Amino acid sequence: MIAPYRHIRDLNSLTNDEIADLFTHFKKVYTRLNKCLKPHGYNIGLNLGKIAGAGIDKHIHIHIVPRWQGDTNFMPVISKTKVVPQALNKLYKDLKEISEKVQK
């Protein structure tokens, strides 16, 4: 999940610098996930407002969810897509390792 520092409820409230920063971070996460996990695709989405699932009324964030053919979840019911589970501590370690290599 990628979120701006400032909590706001609407895309129109983001400054151009905040939009650029948000998508610069998105690109970094996308690149690192590709190197680390090598997914077959992604589900990417914005949650705008509490009703949309943001959890906090004045909060925008981007979800970036790597996907693989054959993964399992409720998704097959609506899109013939499945989710593959992975331990978060292992994913954190792998992404940290990739990030350290990228920064050198």
Active site residues: 61
Rg, the chain, Cα only: 15
Count CA atoms within 13 Å of residue 37 on its CB side.
26
d(CA 45, CA 52): 11
